[in-house]
Amino acid sequence: MAKPHSRSQGNDEGLAPLSLKRVGIDTYRENVAYLHRECDLYRAEGFQALAKVEVGANGRRILASLNVVDDEAIVGHDQLGLSEEAFASLGMPEGQPVCVSQAEPPGSIPALHRKINGERLTRRDFRAIVQDVAERRYSKIELTAFVVACDLGEMDREEVFYLSDAMARVGRRLDWHEHPVVDKHCIGGIPGNRTSMLVVPIVAAHGTLCPKTSSRAITSPSGTADTMEVLARVDLPFAELNELVRTHRGCLAWGGSSDLSPADDVLITVERPLSLDSPGQMVASILSKKVSAGSTHLLLDIPVGPQAKVRSMPEARRLRKLFEFVAGRLGLTLEVVITDGRQPIGRGIGPVLEARDVMRVLMQHPEAPRDLRQKSLYLAGRMLEFDPDVRGGDGYGIARDILESGRALEKMRAIIRAQGETPFDPEALPLAPLGFEVTAPHDGVVTAIDNRRLARVARLAGAPKAKGAGVDLLARIGDAVTAGQPLYRVYASYRNERNAAHQCCDCDNGFTLGEATAIVPLNVEGL
């Protein structure tokens, strides 16, 4: 056993550095450090569990939350352990001498306390908080307090702008030196709905620059980045992302690996487990990412439906006004479309199943989901009209021609190869092995589908972590079904996940059957 380090008698240099050890624990994007309770440094410096510490070596430093352990199998008396996330952030080899000290409290804590008390914060307050968040000076408890305070406090529109602007200013900010640079985003809440993976190759094939950076799923069974990862690598370094977009006019990448609005990626670590997605934080998250990615024009999709994030047209219009106000202050040209969100878009819910739907549309497969195809063409057409050379109303026809000519498929394959292709055959899916069917309890017409229930079933089955898990829809609103007819299939990787999904379906399968006259039309502005 290594001899514990100790303070040298009469040595002004104090305690010797600790030896760095990699601790194989996934702390989900949080830096965590581990000290043994009997470590001299722990006792001498008065460290407390969960306190923030600063770890330094060879001019590099990181901030981490401290965990105290009693098991020498984790860390010895003369070692400092770092979680996988922290070890990668520090970038030093095991055995490297490291110094550990108390971290200074974040300077923005007084502003945080004022927000917790319901006060309105200034632009300077939000900049200070966001800077500390991005530098990981906040503990998970402090991050949670900020997110909840903003959620409950209902930030006014100026505060939402201050937060958006602060988030966009921290981290890298791309400048493509051309105009327009277009992007498209959906606020989420609709399972499937992988329109971005069709819009990007269509728009890029037209020649308009479309650097699509997406987040991973927060509360859904899959995000664009999760689904694209089935086909190609999405964690692209900044330089690689830059070169790829300039060469191919588009990409489908995860924004977190390119240091675009890094504070947003930190905040997501607490928003996800809390299932929080308040309007103000949603606006700040989306718009800060788009501004950081160098977009000049954004098409925003707000789906409306009884079980969507936005449930009524008045609510959608209020959210649109907030987006428009903040985007205008940020100098971003924004067009908002309000679309039908009463049911999932496409058939698949989960990364592999959604990737199948996307590739089938691009390949013009006879079983390609029509709703996914039509909505993608509609959105792509609106984006193409950002091009000053495209006359208003002509975008849809141009988008359809690009898809039907095979140019969109060719562009998608080029982007996939450039990002690092993963072998994928839409006709031989790597689905999770354990599955079951959910059937209609009686004859009737499908009058409603609960998006949230189906998303929950897919997540319980293991999506998005298990790429092959999810839900494959076999019926849609307006379809006539008979008793015992399958409504959807569920795929899970593990027995406990299959059982959890099955219990959820037994409680409520998410489908409402009735008479065709019970289907209530939804008056929305887009398809």
**Catalytic residue positions?**
277
Phi then psi dihedrals of residue 443, to 5 deg: -65, 155
Tokens of 195: 């329109």
In contact, 454 and 192? CB cutoff 8 Å: no
Between CA 360 and CA 408 the distance in angstroms is: 12
CB atoms within 10 A of CB 120: 13
**Those residues with Cβ within 8 angstroms of residue 445's Cβ, 6 or more apart along the chain or in another chain:** 478, 479, 480, 481, 513, 514, 515, 516, 518, 519
Per the omega criterion (within 30 degrees of 0), is the bond before 464 cis?
yes
CB atoms within 10 A of CB 435: 15
Q: Tokens 């189906």 correspond to what residue?
A: 454
Tokens of 64: 């981490």
* Length of the chain measured in residues: 527
Tokens of 57: 């070596």
**Those residues with Cβ within 8 angstroms of residue 187's Cβ, 6 or more apart along the chain or in another chain:** 282, 286, 300, 301, 302, 303, 309, 310, 319
In contact, 151 and 160? CB cutoff 8 Å: no
Between CA 208 and CA 37 the distance in angstroms is: 58
Tokens of 268: 């997501």
Between CA 119 and CA 277 the distance in angstroms is: 21
Distance of CA 359 to the CA centre of its chain: 21
Between CA 227 and CA 281 the distance in angstroms is: 24
CB atoms within 10 A of CB 391: 10
Tokens of 109: 């804590």
Phi then psi dihedrals of residue 152, to 5 deg: -75, -30
Between CA 472 and CA 489 the distance in angstroms is: 5
Amino acid type, 456: R
Classify 73 as helix, strand or coil: coil
In contact, 187 and 303? CB cutoff 8 Å: yes
CB atoms within 10 A of CB 273: 12
Classify 118 as helix, strand or coil: coil
Distance of CA 503 to the CA centre of its chain: 27
**Those residues with Cβ within 8 angstroms of residue 177's Cβ, 6 or more apart along the chain or in another chain:** none
Tokens of 278: 């308040």
